[in-house]
């Protein structure tokens, strides 16, 4: 009898081990803390688990797996299966998608940001460039136009931006550089310290990041309508890990993207509705830049930087004009559909 019981118990343990071993567990590398910027990753993990009955889970790690600027490298070597990164952190590694970071593209809202990002992500040249990192683009992290917070007197003319030390990455950094600013691309997690220590005078972020990283707490003012552009931050998956998924798991992942983005947009919309109240609560002045200054900024930053980007990328074999035209045509199509 003891032998029979022992055999039965061993069988149960073995079956349990096989069931556990067959489950798929991914790690996703992001940074900071849970916030509007990561809500679609959190929602995606929730949906994938629900749709597979817990057989496919995604653990979201906030800085425990990699530094922000090293997430794409981590994906390339399979250190984790999913990651979020921003193109401006390493422009040489993801040249093609930096078209989405050109200043003054004219993207008006988050729906348009999703549309242009996903159109660019689907372009063969973009996908080919990601292949060298063993990465598959899954979804964007749509952010509204960036604006500045700063201390002291508001910098609401181009003359006052001359010499301004600003935390701004990618095309945004180029835009401020074009009007005499001195950009630095410290990671978002280091922006508060850079502001506190005087390394920078101002910080360019979307609203959620000013809240999450505390820069709003040091601010005397915020530009409400500068809107020079935004950064593009994809969520990618390791190609080998994606290919190793079962059909059910892959379907659960792919089909959850649209729902995860919808959740993100709804959550971010609620944050934007509260923004003026946040400014009032923290005593931050809301600064409106004049139309004349905005026009002058665009003239110095938009056309010259776009022309230089197209020339530079084309020389490197990237179909730059085609990518820029894709952004413009997608914007037109998105507005017609609305």
Encoded tokens for 230: 């935004």
Write out pLDDT tens, residues 47-92.
Answer: 999 999 999 999 999 999 999 999 999 999 999 999 999 998 999 9
Residues whose CB falls within 8 Å of the CB of residue 9, separated by 6 or more in sequence, listed in order: none
pLDDT of residue 14: 43
Write out pLDDT tens, residues 167-192.
Answer: 998 889 999 999 999 999 888 999 99
The mean pLDDT value of the chain amounts to 92
Q: pLDDT over 70 for what percent of the chain?
A: 93
pLDDT of residue 337: 85
Average pLDDT (228-233) is 93
Position 5 pLDDT exceeds 50: no
Q: Answer whether 24-90+109-140+232-271 and 147-230+282-337 agree in fold.
A: yes
Please check whether the domain covering 24-90+109-140+232-271 is classified as CATH 3.40.190.170. Answer: yes
pLDDT of residue 185: 87
CATH code given to domain 147-230+282-337: 3.40.190.170
Region class of 307: left (phi > 0), else alpha (psi between -120 and 50), else beta? alpha
R_g of the chain, CA atoms, integer Å: 22
333: Cα separation from own chain's centroid: 23
pLDDT of residue 171: 86
pLDDT of residue 26: 98
Q: How far apart are CA 23 and CA 18, in angstroms?
A: 9
Q: Where do the domains of the chain lie?
A: 24-90+109-140+232-271, 147-230+282-337
Q: Find the angle CA(255)-CA(258)-CA(260) to the nearest 5 degrees.
A: 100
H, E, C per residue of the chain = CHHHHHHHHHHHHHHHHHHHHHCEEEEEEECCCCCHHHHHHHHHHHHHHHHCCCCEEEEEEECCCCCHHHHHHHHHCCCCCEEECCHHHCCCCCCHHHHHHCCCCCCCCHHHHHHHHHHHHCCHHHHHHHHCCCEEEEECCCCCCCEEEECCCCCCCHHHHCCCEEECCHHHHHHHHHCCCEEECCCHHHHHHHHHHCCCCEEEECHHHHHHCCHHHHCCEEECCCCCCCCCCCEEEEHHHHHCCCHHHHHHHHHHHHHHHHHHHHHHHHHHHHHHHHHHHHCCEEECCCHHHHHHHHHHHHHHHHHHHHHHHHHCCCCHHHHHHHHHHHHHHHHHHC
SS3 of 275, please?
helix
Position 2 pLDDT exceeds 60: no
Q: How far apart are CA 168 and CA 176, in angstroms?
A: 8
Position 165 pLDDT exceeds 60: yes
Distances (CA, A) of 18 to 11, 15, 181, 278: 11, 5, 59, 52
């Amino acid at each position: 009898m003891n032998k029979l019981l022992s055999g039965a118990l061993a069988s149960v343990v073995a079956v349990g081990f096989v069931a556990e071993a067959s489950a798929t567990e991914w790690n996703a590398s992001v940074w900071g803390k849970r916030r509007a910027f990561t809500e679609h990753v959190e929602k995606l993990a929730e949906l994938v688990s629900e749709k597979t009955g817990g057989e496919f889970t995604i653990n979201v790690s906030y800085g425990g797996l990699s530094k922000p600027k090293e997430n794409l490298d981590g994906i390339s070597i399979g250190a984790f299966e999913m990651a979020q990164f921003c193109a401006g952190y390493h422009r040489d590694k993801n040249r093609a998608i930096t078209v989405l970071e050109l200043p003054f593209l004219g993207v008006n809202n988050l729906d348009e940001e999703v549309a242009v990002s996903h159109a660019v992500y689907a372009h063969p040249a973009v996908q080919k460039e990601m292949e060298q990192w063993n990465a598959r683009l899954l979804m964007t992290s749509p952010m509204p136009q960036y604006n500045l917070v700063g201390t002291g007197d508001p910098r609401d003319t181009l003359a006052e931006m001359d010499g301004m030390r600003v935390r701004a990455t990618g095309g945004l950094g180029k835009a401020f550089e074009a009007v005499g600013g001195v950009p630095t691309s410290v990671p978002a997690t280091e922006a508060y310290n850079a502001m506190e220590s005087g390394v920078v005078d101002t910080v360019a972020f979307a609203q959620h990041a000013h809240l999450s990283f505390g820069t709003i707490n040091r601010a005397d003012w915020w530009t409400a309508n500068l809107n020079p552009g935004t950064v593009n931050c994809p969520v990618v998956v390791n190609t080998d890990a994606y290919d190793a998924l079962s059909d059910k798991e892959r379907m659960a992942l792919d089909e959850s993207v649209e729902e995860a983005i919808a959740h993100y947009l709804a959550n971010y919309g609620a944050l934007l509705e509260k923004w003026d109240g946040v400014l009032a609560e923290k005593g931050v002045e809301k600064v409106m830049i004049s139309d004349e200054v905005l026009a002058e900024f665009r003239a110095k930053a938009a056309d010259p930087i776009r022309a230089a980007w197209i020339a530079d990328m084309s020389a490197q074999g990237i179909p730059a004009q085609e990518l820029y035209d894709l952004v413009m045509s997608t914007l037109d199509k998105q507005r017609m559909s609305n």
